[in-house]
Amino acid sequence: MNQNLNVFQLASSLAAHANQRQALIAQNIANADTPGFKARDLAPFTQSFADGGMTMRATRPGHLAARASPPMAQIVTDSAFGAEAPNGNSVSIEDQMVRAADVRQQHDLAMGIYQKSLQILRISMGRK
* DSSP H helical ranges for 31-92: 45-50
Among candidate residues 23, 10, 26, the one with its CA nearest the CA of residue 93: 26
Domain that holds residue 116: 6-124
pLDDT over 90 (residue 60)? no
Largest CA distance in the chain: 63
Whole-model pTM?
A: 0.73
Do the domain assignments include residue 15?
Answer: yes
104-124 confidence digits (pLDDT tens) = 999 999 999 999 999 998 998
Do the domain assignments include residue 1?
Answer: no
Do the domain assignments include residue 55?
Answer: yes
18-42 confidence digits (pLDDT tens) = 999 999 999 999 999 999 999 999 9
Banded model confidence at residue 78, pLDDT cuts 50, 70, 90: confident
Do the domain assignments include residue 32?
Answer: yes
Angstrom distance (rounded) from CA 3 to CA 119? 15
97 vs 28, 45, 91, 101, 110, CA distance in Å? 10, 19, 11, 6, 20
Do the domain assignments include residue 98?
Answer: yes
Are 1 and 52 contacting, i.e. CB atoms less than 8 angstroms apart? Answer: no
Do the domain assignments include residue 76?
Answer: yes
Count of the separate structural domains present in the chain: 1
